[in-house]
Amino acid sequence: MGIGMNLFQQARHGQQQEQTFLDTTAGILYGGHLLTLNSASENTFVLNTFNANSWLGAYQTSKASEPGGYWAWITGEAFSYSNWRSGEPNNSGGGEDVAEMYNSTYSGQWNDLGATNGRSYIIEYGIIISVPEPATFAMAALILVAVALGKRNR
Ligand SMILES: [Ca+2]
Ligand SMILES: [Ca+2]
């Protein structure tokens, strides 16, 4: 997580109630991680449940192919589903390397943005359930805990 870790470190400032991308990783201490989304139904569920502009646990592992290249989930899950808003990601200003999910104003679509912005965040606690038949695959059951925080201080 080279660049990702750098992003986390860049974001290590500010005491907003809404949190920077780095600050949200505190959730990991409690066994969770920043929200990852793997399907349209999951995206819709989160939108309908929380309806907030919220960090996603998404970041770029390299800036070699801006704006759309090298997006990854902090969990290491395959980045197989995405829901970018039209025209996003756009790497606006050259420094948008993490992502947020919009609220219902933009239908829960995604935007890339800088890591030092303040956003609400959602910590996801995944429970791995082993499904023995017919194939052995793991299914993530999601328990989502909203941490919907107040207005930005500025
Ligand atoms: Ca970028
Ligand atoms: Ca953007």
Tell me if 153 is assigned to some domain.
no
Tell me if 152 is assigned to some domain.
no
Asked if the model's pLDDT at residue 142 lies above 70, the reply is no
- b or e along 75-91 (b: 16 or more beta carbons within 10 Å of the residue's beta carbon)? eeeeeeebbbbeebbeb
Tell me if 38 is assigned to some domain.
yes
Q: What's the rounded Cα separation, in Å, for the pair 102 and 108?
A: 5
Starting from the CA of residue 111, give the closest ligand: 2
Residue 140 pLDDT class (50, 70, 90 cuts) = very low
83 CA from centroid of ligand 2 (Å): 13
> Looking at residue 112, which CATH number applies to its domain?
3.10.100.10
Number of domains the chain is built from = 1
Tell me if 29 is assigned to some domain.
yes
Q: What's the rounded Cα separation, in Å, for the pair 83 and 99?
A: 11
Tell me if 24 is assigned to some domain.
yes
Its domain, for residue 137, covers 2-147
Tell me if 30 is assigned to some domain.
yes
Starting from the CA of residue 102, give the closest ligand: 2
Which of the pair, 153 or 67, is modelled with greater confidence? Answer: 67
Tell me if 109 is assigned to some domain.
yes
Q: What's the rounded Cα separation, in Å, for the pair 87 and 71?
A: 16
Backbone angles phi, psi at 119, to 5 degrees: -145, 160
The total of other beta-carbon atoms located within 10 Å of residue 66's CB is: 16
Residue 135 pLDDT class (50, 70, 90 cuts) = very low
Tens-digit pLDDT profile for residues 68-120: 999 999 888 999 999 999 999 999 999 999 999 999 999 999 999 999 898 88
Q: What is the mean pLDDT of residues 38-67?
A: 93
Residue 125 pLDDT class (50, 70, 90 cuts) = confident
62 CA from centroid of ligand 1 (Å): 8
77 CA from centroid of ligand 2 (Å): 22
Asked if the model's pLDDT at residue 67 lies above 70, the reply is yes
Tell me if 131 is assigned to some domain.
yes
